[in-house]
Amino acid sequence: EAGVVQSPRYKIIEKKQPVAFWCNPISGHNTLYWYRQNLGQGPELLIRYENEEAVDDSQLPKDRFSAERLKGVDSTLKIQPAELGDSAVYLCASRQDSGNTIYFGEGSWLTVV
């Protein structure tokens, strides 16, 4: 069974440019998370989806960050415009309704220069 798939794996952009990350959760997993992990720290939740509904986006910086999960499967996370402080790893994760375990993808590594 395929795990959580993310793309791109690595992205280097100049500040003020837009960037988008894509996530395909494990098949059948209704809950999808986007986490951000700064260097030397643990991941922090940005947004959580139940199917296509964003049920917790309290920590998403809405002035420049947006996310969508239109059909309740794949999700995209967008940053526009990017700032230097956005350099981090953006992790997508998913969980099955009946399961305990949250499965993480390999992450999308963003460097803003």
Partner 1 sequence: GQQLNQSPQSMFIQEGEDVSMNCTSSSIFNTWLWYKQDPGEGPVLLIALYKAGELTSNGRLTAQFGITRKDSFLNISASIPSDVGIYFCAGQVNFGNEKLTFGTGTRLTIIP
Query: Looking at beta carbons only, is 6 or 82 nearer to partner 1?
Result: 6
User: For residues 107 and 91, is the Cβ–Cβ distance under 8 A?
Assistant: yes
Query: Looking at beta carbons only, is 44 or 83 nearer to partner 1?
Result: 44
The CB density around residue 89, as the number of other CB atoms within 10 Å, is: 17
Closest CA to 90 of 55, 60, 49, 51: 60
Longest dimension (CA), the chain: 42
Least Å distance between CB 16 and partner 1?
25
Least Å distance between CB 104 and partner 1?
3
Structure-token match 């967008």, residue found: 78
Query: Looking at beta carbons only, is 18 or 99 nearer to partner 1?
Result: 99
Least Å distance between CB 89 and partner 1?
8
Site residues, partner 1 (CB under 8 A): 4, 31, 33, 40-45, 48, 50, 55-56, 59, 91, 93, 95, 100-107
User: For residues 112 and 82, is the Cβ–Cβ distance under 8 A?
Assistant: yes
Least Å distance between CB 85 and partner 1?
14
